[in-house]
Each structure stands twice: as structure tokens, then as C-alpha cells.
Amino acid sequence: MAKKQGDIKKTTTTLFFVTILMFGFGYAMVPLYDTFCQITGLNGKTQRVIETKGEEVVVSNREVRILFDANVNGDLPWRLKPTIKAIKVQPGKFYDATYSVTNMSNEAVVGQAIPSVSPQIASLYFKKSECFCFVNQLLEPGETKDMLVRFEVDRDLPEDVGALTLSYTFFRAKGDNS
């Protein structure tokens, strides 16, 4: 009979550890999801590359249309718009595009831009060497800034993607409570 109590204790302990393990699994889903998204381009996150200067670039003859889109989160008193609405690019070559951003409020605010590419599959082939979204941006009251993004479209972009949209949403940076 004491054996039975021992067995119960063993089952309970095991199940308790399974519970803790599954709690941990909930957290493990975060990096798993990030990795999964990176491999599949699932949530439209763009790729970052270092531009190699002086190398001979192989440019494809294809033309791909890039459309620029801009949004500002409701918490941020800013205005954001692309300087040009769209351009045509050749895959394999770097291009510059600018966004104009204005702080409409009377205080200095720090913002963070989050990029997204649509269709999602294209995000794996959209590579940026410079971007205002790589760091937080500080804007003084009423200040207007032109911000640069330098990018290329990879030559391996699937044939059926003829146009893609690069979208930015500006959020108030985490920890900026002004």
C-alpha cells in the first residue's frame, strides 16, 4: 500500500514536470516562429545584406515594379510618405528610395519603422543594405526628414512576381514615453 502512495507521487511528479515543460514550449514557440518566418518569408520581413563594392554585378534584364507604401501607427503623431510612388527596377542592381517623415507634434519623439513586403514570397528576395528602419529615428518638434532606403531585388525572384509592394509602418519606439 505504501507502494501505491509512492506510485502516485511518481506520476504526480512526472506530470508536474510535463506541465513546466509545456509552459516552456509556449515560450519556445517564439524563436521557432521567427525561424519559420525567416525561412518562408511568412510575415513579409525583409532581408538585410552588405553591399559588396567593386564586384562585377550581374544584372538581369527583367523589370520589376516596386510600389512604396507608408503608414503611421495611431500612437505616433507623425506623417510619412514615399517621395515617389513607384519605380521600375532591374533585379541584381541597387537602388535608392526616400521617404519623407514629419513630426506633427510639439515634442521630440522617437519612432521605429517596421518594413513589410507583399507578396510574402518576395520578401525573401528583397534585400536592403541601408534603411532608416535599421535604427530608431528621433524627430524634433515639427521637423521634417528625408530618409533613405537602399535595396536590391535578388535575381532569383520567382518569375511570376512582376510587382511588389514595400510598406513601412512607423510606431512609437518602445520605451519612448514622451
Partner 1 sequence: MSTLAHEHDHHHAPSGLKRWIFSTNHKDIGTLYLIFALMMFFIGGAMAMIIRAELFQPGLQFVDPQFYNSMVTVHALIMIFGAVMPAGVGLANWMIPLMIGAPDMALPRMNNMSFWILPFGFALLISTLFMNGGGPAGGWTMYPPLVLQLNDAFPFLIFTVHILGVSSIMGAINIIATVFNMRAPGMTLMKMPLFVWTWVITAFLLIASLPVLAGAVTMLLTDKYFGTSFFSAAGGGDPVLFQHIFWFFGHPEVYILALPAFGIVSTIIPTFARKPLFGYASMVYATASIAILSFFVWAHHMFTVGMPIKGELFFMYATMLIAVPTGVKVFNWMATMWKGAMTFEAPMLFSIAFVILFTIGGFSGLMLGITPVDFQYHDTYFVVAHFHYVLLTGAVFSLMAAAYYWLPKWTGYMYDEKLAKIHFWLSAIASNVLFFPQHFLGLAGMPRRIPDYNIQFADFNMISSIGGFAYGISQLLFVYIVIKCALGGKKAKAQAWEGAKGLEWTVPSPAPFHTFETPPKLTKAMLEN
Q: Which three cell numbers stand for residue 144?
A: 521634417
Closest CA to 72 of 130, 43, 128, 114: 114
Based on the shown chain and the rule CB under 8 A, indicate whether residue 35 belongs to the binding site for partner 1.
no
SS3 content of the chain, % helix, strand, coil (to 5): 25, 40, 35
Q: Based on CB atoms, which residue is closest to partner 1, 76 or 89?
A: 76
Based on the shown chain and the rule CB under 8 A, indicate whether residue 71 belongs to the binding site for partner 1.
no
Q: Which stretch binds partner 1 (CB under 8 A): 34-42, 89-97, 98-106, 152-160?
A: 34-42
Q: Which stretch binds partner 1 (CB under 8 A): 8-16, 54-62, 97-105, 154-162?
A: 8-16
Q: Based on CB atoms, which residue is closest to partner 1, 17 or 84?
A: 17
Based on the shown chain and the rule CB under 8 A, indicate whether residue 26 belongs to the binding site for partner 1.
yes
| Size, binding site for partner 1 by CB under 8 A | 38
- Long-range pairs of 51-54 with CB within 8 A, sequence gap ≥ 24: 51/94, 51/129, 51/150, 51/152
Helical residues (DSSP H) of the chain, grouped into ranges? 2-40
Instruction: Give SS3 for 120.
Output: helix
Instruction: Give SS3 for 110.
Output: strand
Question: Cβ(80)–Cβ(146) under 8 Å?
Answer: no
With cell 521617404, the residue in question is 99
Find the shortest distance in angstroms from Cβ 47 to partner 1.
Answer: 15
Based on the shown chain and the rule CB under 8 A, indicate whether residue 135 belongs to the binding site for partner 1.
no
Based on the shown chain and the rule CB under 8 A, indicate whether residue 53 belongs to the binding site for partner 1.
no
Pick one of 54, 56, 106, 175: the residue that binds partner 1 (CB under 8 A): 175
Contacts to partner 1 by CB under 8 A: 1-2, 4-5, 7-8, 11-12, 15-16, 18-27, 29-30, 33, 37, 40, 42-43, 73, 112, 114, 120-121, 169, 171-175
